[in-house]
Structure 1
Amino acid sequence: MKKSSFLLALFAVCASLAGLNVQADVASYPSKPIRILVGYVPGGSTDGLARALGLELSEKLAQPVIVVNRPGGLTIPVVQAMLQSPADGYTLAVFDSSTVAINQFLFKKPPYDASKFTTISMLAQNPMGIIVTPSYPAKTVNEVVADLRAKPETAFASPGPGTVMHLTMELFRKRADLDQMVHVPYKGGAPALQDIMAGHVPIAMMDIASSAALIKGGNVRLIAVTTDKRLEAFPDVPTIAEAAYPGFSSISSYALYGPPGIPPAIVEKINSAVKDAMASPRMNTWLTGVSLLSTYLPAAETKSEIEREAIKYSKIIKSLGLSTDN
């Protein structure tokens, strides 16, 4: 046999064996613990969702599911950790809209391309609302707008520049013609809420999951929510759309991702388990308790939804001239 023919035959055998190994890996998946990466500290809504999901998946996939927190850096470190992991389905990540639909527009040279991620499933959505300090005189959206027009340079808080909450407040300001308000960015939602409670900053657009306990405790007041319908946890609080601005809607999404190149059969296995997990009574009880909305979608629909979010947020970021490079 000529050397070239021998090498071709050897290559064919190796390729065949590699294919068999891939098929075996898919058939046996999962055969070891799975990691879910989270880009925030323990205790927040993203972390809580990942842990609740992990509990369900560990039962449905018969393997431990371990949540690993990699906070900080606009979630860039956690994205890098995921991208450096093998595309075998054993390293996944729960990302919110900031990571997959916003960050790429905040950099002149984006540190990653979210469109390359393996999209697995939409998990839930995190509604937001107009939060004010308890002593704030306005009680309705129209009263809030009237007060802010009378005091045009009123400060508003956010968990940080370029966050979903910040951009949603900018949408509201544009709709209500509140051009002169002063943005006060914080390093997270907790310190922003603390200053709202203390009255140092009177108003913010905040996610309901992190604010719910404070709202129920009377530490802050919820004026209106950003969803299309009223929230089950706060049925007496109107939507911004019904109260003043028809069509106004904004919400942050949570979805499950993996590194590029996970075999489709493994993605389907994970997706099937996630679908069952998000439908479980235990999961739905947990979601309702923290005011997250269960919105499971399969991979293709999730990708389409995130692409729509990205288009919306890119326009806001461009109009504001926001950039981490400034």
Structure 2
Amino acid sequence: MRLKHLLSMAAAGALMCSAAAIAHAQSASGYPSKPIRIILPYSPGGAGDGFARQLGLELTATLGQPVIVDNRPGGQSVPAMQALTAAAPDGHTFAIFGTEGVTINHQLFKRPPYNPEKLEAVARLADIPFGIIVRADYPANNLKEFIQRIKSDNSTAFASPGAGTPIHLMMEVFRQRAGLEKMVHVPYKGSAPAIQDMLSGQVSVAMLDPATPLQHIKAGKIRLLAVASDKRLPNFPDVPTIAESGYPGFSAIGWYAAYAPPGTPPEIVDKLSAALKAAVQTPKISKWLIEMELIPAYMPPAETKAETAKETASYGAIVKRLGISMDN
């Protein structure tokens, strides 16, 4: 009797698993069935916002549903993260975060306000190169002269978009590797005010993404001294990488990646990921990304999850070593 009972339970379990699999397949086949919402931790008008809207147009054409961009800026990505985790896990809501949103911000608190590990990774979409930027009149023409100048000065301030951002952390790593003890970090509330202070002469050095000060670089008011990516940028072929300028192996990039609410079925995650891959690889978006000094860099869900975990550990070690905390 006991054997019959166990067999009956096993059969029932198999039927339940089969029913669940069929239900997931059916939900994916009917997806999407209503408008899609993209949550962003950025204000309207920036590169991240523009990227999301470009993707939205392509997704509308591919998936046959309108796409709405929901801007939830500020608060160390907390408003955007809370909106995402509160959304139904049906694929009709996903978020695009930069590196800091899922690998750094929660590590800046003793009691993190969210846990990004619970999110469903959908796709890595584009890489964001960093670069060392100086005022046009700064007395250094290359990275070697820059380092010599910094070491000869009593103190030099370097600007970043904010404490604990990937750019700040990677500049700290470079500063330590190059032995630039006299450099002092000046955190700003975003890249735009840092650039304004560079133009007005308040600060002469920064590590930023080249996309933000692009118009000023082209106008000759700011110079891109070296880039932190693995390769030279297509629009700046004469600007060397930090690695080839005497620091082999040094590489620092950010990225944009898509994440869905916890519990979103894998079949829907895969379908959304495939649609995002197709969108990123269209000539229109690829051209737009390159013009914005971004690099198309699609990764599927499993790889995106693995890279997120890897960089979370890496940035966490830097945060701990530098003693950076939003609780201070």
TM superposition score normalised by structure 2: 0.92
Q: In the superposition, relative to structure 1, how do residues 17 and 200 fare at CA in structure 2: closer, same or farther (>3 Å)?
A: same
The CA deviation string for residues 114-149 of structure 1, in whole angstroms up to 9 with x for no partner, is 111010001000001001111111111011111111
Q: 1:249 aligns with which of 248, 251, 254?
A: 251
- Name the CA distance, whole Å, in 1 between partners of 2:307 and 2:100: 14
Alignment of 1:156-195 (within 5 A): 156-195=158-197
Q: 1:32 to 1:201 in 2, by over 3 A?
A: same
Deviation at 1:202, TM superposition (A): 0.8
* Paired position in structure 1 for 2:325: 323
Q: Which residue number corresponds to residue 240 of structure 2? A: 238
2:49 is aligned with 1:29: no
Letter paired with 1:54: G
Q: Which amino acid aligns with 1:160?
A: G
The CA distance in 2 between the partners of 1:240 and 1:119, in whole Å, is 31
Residue type at the aligned position of 1:309: E
Aligned mates of 2:237, 2:25 — CA distance in 1: 50
Alpha-carbon distance in 2 for matches of 1:244, 1:38 = 37
Q: Which amino acid aligns with 2:97?
A: F
CA shift for structure 1 position 165: 1.1
Q: Which runs of 5+ in 1 are unaligned?
A: 1-11
| CA-to-aligned-CA distance 1:46-75 (integer Å, 9 cap, x gap) | 111111111111111111111110111011
Aligned residue in 2 for 1:223: 225
User: What residue in structure 1 maps to residue 142 of structure 2?
Assistant: 140
Displacement of 1:153:
1.7
Q: Confirm or deny: 8 A CA contact 1:133 1:198 kept in the other structure.
A: no
Q: CA deviation at 1:15?
A: 11
- Pairing 1:126-137 to 2, within 5 Å after superposition: 126-137=128-139
Q: Secondary structure at the match of 1:322?
A: coil
C-alpha distance in 1 between matches for 2:244 and 2:143: 10
My pick for the range that moved more, 150-159 or 229-238, is 150-159
Give the aligned residue type for 1:174: Q
Maintained 8 Å contact 1:134/1:197: no
Q: Which amino acid aligns with 1:223?
A: L
Show CA shifts across 1:238-275 (max 9, x none): 00110121111000011000110101111111011111
Identity between Structure 1 and Structure 2 (%): 51
> Does the 8 A contact of 1:138 with 1:144 survive in 2?
yes
Are 2:97 and 2:257, in contact at CA under 8 Å, matched by a contact in 1?
yes
SS state at 1:276 partner = helix
User: Normalization by structure 1: what TM-score?
Assistant: 0.93
Q: Which residue of 2 aligns with 1:303?
A: 305
Residue segments in structure 2 that go unaligned for 5+ positions in a row:
1-12
2:91 and 2:208 mapped to 1: Cα distance? 33
Pick closer, same or farther for the CA change 1:19–1:319 going to 2, 3 Å. Answer: closer
Q: CA offset at residue 20 of structure 1?
A: 6.9
Counterpart residue identity of residue 59, structure 1: A
Does structure 2 retain, via aligned residues, the 8 Å contact 1:275–1:296?
yes
CA deviation after TM superposition for structure 1 residue 313, in Å: 1.0
Offset of 1:104 from its aligned partner?
Answer: 2.1
> Quick one: structure 1 residues 212 and 108, their matched pair in 2 at CA, closer, same or farther if it must change by over 3 Å?
same
Tell me the equivalent position of 1:60: 62
Distance 1:227 1:238 in 2: 10
CA offsets 1:188-238 (integer angstroms, 9 cap, x no match): 110001111111101010012212222112121100000111000100000
Change (3 A) 1:202 1:29: same
Distance (Å, rounded) in 1 between the aligned partners of 2:278 and 2:286: 11
